[in-house]
Amino acid sequence: MNKNESKYFNTANKMHDALIQILDRKDFEYISVKEICEAAGVNRSTFYLHYDNLNDLLSETVEAAYKGFFARYSEVPEAKALKIEDKKSEELFLITPQFLSPYLDFVKENRRLFRLMNEKTDVLGSEKMYGNWFKNIFGPILTKFGVPKEEQPYIMIFYMKGLVGMVTDWVNNDCSTSKEVMMGIISKCIIKP
């Protein structure tokens, strides 16, 4: 990455952070470009060099968050080789330290964003993300476990809402419980099929 690309990404990251900071206290439709620029320490022309409007900034911020999340799994061998059709059922149990640890690390480091993604699902598109995970990962896994198609959405909701609820409570308590203890608690709540 050259100096100009680095500067571009640093400025974009400042604006992503500014958007998240402002979204934490007000609704998206009431946020102005001026507020983003002031919070990010950039001028309006810099904003418009990067984006056409606030929706573009929002889209890029969400995309950057998802990329940051999935980058955590690039070092997990099980995640790299997650070819569902080729795996035995016991290899598809994703509530393990290998999968929970990067998830909890990301959440802890991005607490504000995690809270916002659960509070402002319509703006940040987390429901769509969960839908994609269900379609591409969890649905095929449940099928491999022999769970009937009509039951799968309910089982997915049960697990996702339960897991997200536990992690939300952890975040609301400033992640004071250690990650290792949280992984143990989550693992106890999930029964292998």
pLDDT (tens digit, 9 = 90+) per residue, 103-140? 899 999 999 888 888 888 777 777 777 777 777 777 87
Q: The whole model's pTM is what?
A: 0.75
* Structural tokens at position 119: 């509070």
Distances (CA, A) of 105 to 26, 51, 71, 180: 27, 30, 12, 11
User: Which residue shows structure tokens 């035995």?
Assistant: 88
Residue 29 corresponds to which amino acid?
A: E
Residue 184 burial (10 A CB sphere; 0-12, 13-18, 19+): middle
CATH of 1-75, one of 2.40.110.10, 2.40.110.20, 3.20.110.20, 1.10.357.10: 1.10.357.10
Give the 3-state secondary structure of residue 165: helix
Domain spans, the chain: 1-75, 77-193
